[in-house]
Amino acid sequence: MWIYLILIFVFILISGFFAGSEIAVVTARKTLIDTLQRAGKTDASTLMLLKKNPERFLATIQIGTTMGIAVACVLGGAFAVEIVRPIISAVPVKYIALFSDPLSILGVLVVVSYVLLLWGELIPRSLVLINPERVALAVSPLMYAFSRWASVLIHSLTYSANIILRPFGVKPFTGRGFVSQEEIKLLILEGKDRGIFESTEQELIHSVFEFTDISVKEVMVPIGQVVAVSIDDPLESNLLLISEEKYSRYPVFSTEINNIKGILHAKDVFIHLAQHKEVNMRKLLRAPFFIPETMLISHLLSDMQKKRNHMAIVVNEHGMVTGIVTIEDLLEEIVGEIRDEHDTERPVISIGSGTYIVYASINIRDLKEDHGMEFPESPQYDTLGGFIVTTLQKIPQGGETITLDHMRLTVLEMVNKRVSKVKVEFLNTETLNTDKEEDVETET
């Protein structure tokens, strides 16, 4: 009797060993394994082989756990028939003795299932999660050896599974990631709640994910706000412009802004002046880098790094220049606004009581993400000024207002028929009711 019980428990432990090994290998951090592998640790190299071939590894696990469970169940059945059934048959109760076969098998099945769930699943998995990398390194040589021993069966199982899954459009396991983007975001959120990550770290990671979905049009500086140099103007006026604006690079045009000739580096001008050389703007120009509005900024950043360009000229589908974008603009999408000693103007200025002075050139998305000001989104506009013009369906005048559900916008300043500054007032319920009553009285 004892030999049956010992063997059943041993094979349950074997099943638990494979179940725990699966969790250990799958959850082991690849970065740590790479570090150990570079350090020359043999077990780390073996573990990496298992992680790089998940189909083969999971087939190995399934064979091991299935064999352990199957043998434990067979031994349990033999134990029920040879040991338990005679005991139940001897019970002096007619119906119990009559159904001794099913009762003995059912009783042993319940006990074996309970022990299997406890020692074959729950306990091994829980213990492994304490330090999965250490366990994974320890079991990887044995897992790899077992996978080689059962290679014929593993190849057969893997091939059969892929044949069955193919009609359903399911890719092999190697084509699927262990962790999705949304799962990473949830893990970061959980880490923030537990104090592992700070809010800044969470925002950076979210910004990196969003970085791949943003187009150039959303981050560019509109052409109306671009400080450009006219190659047709006198040198003195251009030097004055460069010294006043204090930018490092300027787009240079001839006749009109759509005729961009190149990019002028301020340092090239000052080097020539310092060396008392003649400043010839045309000779100092560098080739312009033109890009479409629809280009994703993740692709643009890669191109700018390869070509060593810090400024790109943005054009629309008609070839008209619509703005510029710099590497700083791209990096600000990840780390937030970057200001230097020459940036004296802030795009949003609080003047108290829920009231702000806002430069109309600010992007609607930036107002929402950085300042909590939500506006209806539309492909017809990107900036606050564009929203105002689109809503009013005309070029506004100073003092005109727009009242939304939660805020009031007042045009403070116009520059060349363009909205320059706007006062944004957050409204409470009482203010909204007063506004509505005034509107009713006006209509009356």
How far, rounded to the nearest angstrom, does the alpha carbon of residue 136 sit from its chain's CA centroid?
A: 28
* Domain 216-335 in CATH 3.50.50.60: no
Query: pLDDT: is 67 or 195 the higher one?
Result: 67
User: What pLDDT score was predicted for residue 344?
Assistant: 53
User: What pLDDT score was predicted for residue 440?
Assistant: 36
Query: pLDDT: is 390 or 41 the higher one?
Result: 390
In the chain, the percentage of residues whose pLDDT exceeds 90 is 29
The per-residue pLDDT of the chain, averaged, comes to 84
Greatest CA separation for the chain: 120
Given strand 249-254, what is the order of strands in its sheet?
229-230, 249-254, 256-265
How far does the chain reach from its first CA to its final CA, in angstroms? Answer: 99
> CA distances (Å), 158 to each of 98, 154, 162, 167, in order?
46, 6, 6, 15
Render pLDDT for 245-264 as a digit per residue (tens, 0 to 9): 888 999 999 999 999 999 99
CA distance 412 to 203: 33
**286: helix, coil or strand?**
strand
Render pLDDT for 333-365 as a digit per residue (tens, 0 to 9): 888 776 665 555 678 888 888 899 998 888 888
Q: What is the model's pTM?
A: 0.53
User: What pLDDT score was predicted for residue 437?
Assistant: 47
User: What pLDDT score was predicted for residue 361?
Assistant: 84
* Domain 348-443 in CATH 3.30.465.10: yes
Spatial contact of 47 and 148, defined as CB atoms under 8 Å apart = no
User: What pLDDT score was predicted for residue 249?
Assistant: 94
User: What pLDDT score was predicted for residue 306?
Assistant: 92
**401: helix, coil or strand?**
strand
CA distance 135 to 38: 19
Predicted confidence band of residue 173 (pLDDT cuts 50, 70, 90): low
Spatial contact of 115 and 124, defined as CB atoms under 8 Å apart = no
DSSP code string of 315-382: E-TTS-EEEEEEHHHHHHHHH-----TT----SEEEEETTEEEEETTSBHHHHHHHH-------TT-S
User: What pLDDT score was predicted for residue 176?
Assistant: 47
206 secondary structure, DSSP code: H
Render pLDDT for 111-125 as a digit per residue (tens, 0 to 9): 988 998 999 889 988
User: What pLDDT score was predicted for residue 174?
Assistant: 47
- Among 133-142, 339-348, 417-426, which is the least confidently predicted range? 339-348
Sign (positive or negative) of CA dihedral 286, 287, 292, 297 = negative
CA distance 69 to 305: 56
Spatial contact of 333 and 211, defined as CB atoms under 8 Å apart = yes
All residues at 6 or more sequence positions from 201 whose CB lies less than 8 Å from its CB, including other chains: 188, 192
Q: 417: burial class by Cβ within 10 Å (0-12, 13-18, 19+)? A: exposed
Predicted confidence band of residue 443 (pLDDT cuts 50, 70, 90): very low
Which pair of structure tokens corresponds to residue 444? Answer: 């009356």
- Residue 262 has a CB neighbour count (10 Å cut-off) of 20
Which pair of structure tokens corresponds to residue 5? Answer: 């019980």
Q: 213: burial class by Cβ within 10 Å (0-12, 13-18, 19+)? A: exposed
Render pLDDT for 362-378 as a digit per residue (tens, 0 to 9): 888 888 888 888 888 88
CA distance 12 to 125: 14
User: What pLDDT score was predicted for residue 129?
Assistant: 86
Render pLDDT for 275-316 as a digit per residue (tens, 0 to 9): 988 889 899 999 999 999 999 999 999 999 999 999 999 999
Give phi and psi for 16, each to the nearest 5.
-65, -35
- Residue 16 has a CB neighbour count (10 Å cut-off) of 24
**228: helix, coil or strand?**
coil
pLDDT, average across residues 220-229? 88
Return the domain boundaries, the chain.
2-175, 181-211, 216-335, 348-443
All residues at 6 or more sequence positions from 260 whose CB lies less than 8 Å from its CB, including other chains: 251, 252, 253, 288, 290, 313, 321
Nearest to 61 by CA among 153, 131, 159: 153
